């Protein structure tokens, strides 16, 4: 029971709730996830099972892609629809918004940008999670962090009116580096346009190489007589890393944590490789050490 399980996370539960259900269904405690989704968000949640949990460090920094609905009209204290309304903050009226104005503003958020982490987040400052301070009504200074937005495009639905909540909704496709807060992006876009804004809907469509097309729902997992058949092989977690094929006599040495000499090539010191047996089995993930012209196992999968 070792592998990768892609779950289409439903709305209303935490990522940890999903992990607990998968543990129960698969009958194993060795289950973890990468790339937490907020309870109101849905979509791709990468679950690692068994030995694959040791590979989390190699995939949790992968780029993500989302379909996000931003509601213009007012901000909230959490930056999303679950928070309390924070006034109108409207300095530009709906009828003044044009496609040209919105597109010009979106252009400012493409590429490398700075974000201030929201107070309602799990990020720690001085050893304390920000959301714990926020729930006490406290706000602390947060340093801006660099994130990369490689894609930010308007979907087919453009500024759809939502009369019930008095907001104007803009559906966006966002592809971004790990650690990007889509709630903060929504707020910042609103500020740049001149209208209070918050994140209304969020659906993750891709996490690195994994997509919704590969995902199973929890309902599909529950009745399965063979839930393990839904697991992707462990190798899927690190298939983006270059392959280093071991000879038969280096497999045992690698399993014992020993380095293997290599010919000088284009690798850089510290580069990661997946160490594969002659039969194609994933043995370890290793680091290239330039000083020794060798590959040293970093994580061994016995």
Please list the active-site residues. 38
- Distance CA(55)–CA(300), nearest Å, equals 10
DSSP three-state, residue 237: helix
- Distance CA(134)–CA(37), nearest Å, equals 19
**Residues linked to residue 173 through DSSP beta bridges, in sequence order:** 67, 153
Burial (0-12, 13-18, 19+ Cβ within 10 Å), 82? middle
| Chain-centroid distance, C-alpha 95 | 35
Tokens of 149: 């937005």
Pick from 164, 230, 233: nearest CA to 200: 164
- Distance CA(184)–CA(126), nearest Å, equals 21
Pick from 207, 232, 286: nearest CA to 254: 286
**Residues linked to residue 111 through DSSP beta bridges, in sequence order:** 149
Tokens of 161: 């009116």
């Amino acid at each position: 029971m070792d592998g990768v399980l892609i779950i289409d996370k439903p709305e209303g539960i935490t990522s940890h709730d999903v992990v607990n259900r998968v543990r129960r269904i698969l009958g194993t405690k060795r289950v973890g996830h990468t790339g937490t989704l907020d309870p109101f968000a849905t979509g791709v949640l990468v679950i690692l099972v068994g030995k694959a949990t040791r590979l989390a460090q190699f995939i949790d920094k992968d780029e993500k892609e989302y379909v996000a609905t931003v509601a213009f009209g007012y901000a909230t204290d959490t930056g999303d629809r679950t928070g309390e309304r924070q006034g109108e903050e409207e300095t530009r009226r709906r009828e003044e918004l044009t496609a040209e104005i919105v597109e010009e503003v979106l252009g400012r958020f493409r590429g490398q940008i700075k974000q201030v982490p929201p107070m309602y987040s799990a990020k720690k400052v001085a050893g304390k999670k920000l959301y714990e301070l926020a729930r006490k009504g406290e706000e602390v200074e947060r340093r801006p962090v660099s994130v990369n937005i490689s894609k930010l495009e308007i979907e087919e639905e453009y500024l759809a009116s939502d009369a019930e909540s008095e907001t104007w909704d803009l559906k966006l496709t966002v592809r971004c580096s790990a650690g990007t807060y889509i709630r903060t992006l929504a707020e910042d876009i609103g500020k740049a346009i001149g209208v209070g804004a918050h994140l209304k809907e969020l659906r993750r469509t891709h996490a690195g190489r994994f997509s919704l097309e590969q995902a199973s729902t929890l309902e599909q997992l529950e009745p399965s007589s063979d839930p393990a058949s839904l697991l992707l092989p462990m190798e899927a977690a690190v298939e983006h890393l270059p392959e280093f094929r071991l000879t038969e006599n280096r497999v045992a040495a690698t399993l014992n944590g020993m380095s293997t000499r290599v010919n000088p090539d284009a690798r850089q010191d510290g580069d990661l490789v997946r160490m594969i047996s002659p039969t194609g089995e994933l043995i370890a993930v290793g680091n290239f050490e330039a000083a020794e012209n060798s590959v040293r196992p970093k994580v061994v999968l016995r």
